[in-house]
Amino acid sequence: MKKIFLFAMLFAFLFNPYLLADKSELKIAKQYGLAYLPLIIAEEHKLIEKNAKTLGLSDIKVEWITLSGGATANDALLSGSVDLVSGGVAPLIRLWDKTKGKVKILVSLNEAPQILNTSNLKIKTLRDFTDKDKIAVPSVKVSIQALVLQIAAAKEYGIKNYDKLDYLTVTLKHPDGVVALTSGKSEITAHFTQEPFATIERQNPNVREVLNSYDILGGKHTSNLVFTSEDFYQNNPKLSSAIIAAIDEADKWLTEHKKEAAELYLRASKSKEPLEIIEKILNDANNVYAIKPLPNITIFSDFLYDIGAIKTKPADWKELVFDKIH
């Protein structure tokens, strides 16, 4: 009996996930746009590897992949094909609810407006959209842009008609949305997007802004985040800290080196846009890079709960975030 007890204790010790070392290989998914610039900087400067080593973790191998849209990112995380994903507030909240709080924010990326542009000269407000219009978003119904469109529709038509414009939305990754809107050869007459794509589109004289999320929500809000599973967070405490420290370091470098950051973005994203446009966006006070989400992130979860899209409403923003960032 004593041997059985000792064996059981040894087994519990050896296979207790909280006693295992942090993993040595890491897979992170980023997306398109300036929102993900801190991740690009972290990748190019190997900041996760650097901060992991500072915390006593050596030989960390980081693999970066690029996905498009919140739905794709969520699927990648749930399937276990990546350890962390980056995306908008809306996909994170849906996944937090779906997993009963087992997926949360590890670190915030930015505060930035989501912008609805149009090439249809007749459209000045939401009420001007007709059956002939199509609105490109990165993920229909799931993305932060799709959610802001619903919030805007609810304010315009009433909460019961929050989805009034959903039938006009089409899933397109941001770069494809730019091409579709500005080419004049597509059914796409509007694009709900973020920087730098919104500014790039408005270089076309036929494109203008209809609305943006700061106006709809009454001020700045967190837009994009890095999130992961509770299993990863609990089993990799030092690595989680290293990732947070890496993003914080990337933010500080970005703030002090706007031109170099713009050059890095263009090089890494293989974009041919003028450097001055990217640099101007980075200097815009509306675009802020910060590792801690704004408390008003619950604006999004409250709305999703009110329309029945999630079953549980977080009482506080901290419920959506792993405690290292508190």
Confidence of residue 19 (pLDDT cuts 50, 70, 90): very low
For position 12, what pLDDT does the model report? 44
- 31-89 pLDDT, tens digit each: 999 999 999 999 999 999 999 999 999 889 999 999 887 788 899 999 999 999 999 99
For position 69, what pLDDT does the model report? 77
Give dist(CA 96, CA 322) in Å, integer. 11
Model confidence at 2: pLDDT above 50: no
Report which of residues 205 and 184 the model is more confident about. Answer: 205
Helix (H) or strand (E) holding 27: strand 25-30
Report which of residues 184 and 248 the model is more confident about. Answer: 248
Average pLDDT for 134-161 = 97
Helix (H) or strand (E) holding 111: strand 103-111
For position 55, what pLDDT does the model report? 95
Average pLDDT for 2-8 = 45
- 214-247 pLDDT, tens digit each: 999 999 999 999 999 999 999 999 999 999 999 9
For position 20, what pLDDT does the model report? 53
Cα distance between the two ends of the chain:
46
Amino acid at 12: A
Give dist(CA 112, CA 179) in Å, integer. 22
Average pLDDT for 260-282 = 95
Q: 115-217: what CATH class? A: alpha beta
Model confidence at 155: pLDDT above 90: yes
Residue 191: helix, strand or coil by DSSP? strand
Ranges in the chain annotated CATH 3.40.190.10: 16-111+221-325, 115-217
Give dist(CA 305, CA 23) in Å, integer. 36
Give dist(CA 65, CA 43) in Å, integer. 11
For position 21, what pLDDT does the model report? 73
Give dist(CA 218, CA 72) in Å, integer. 29
- 97-142 pLDDT, tens digit each: 999 999 999 999 999 999 999 999 999 999 999 999 999 999 999 9
Domain 16-111+221-325 has CATH 3.40.50.150: no
Residue matched to tokens 């590890």? 106
Residue matched to tokens 């989680």? 240
The model carries a pTM of 0.89
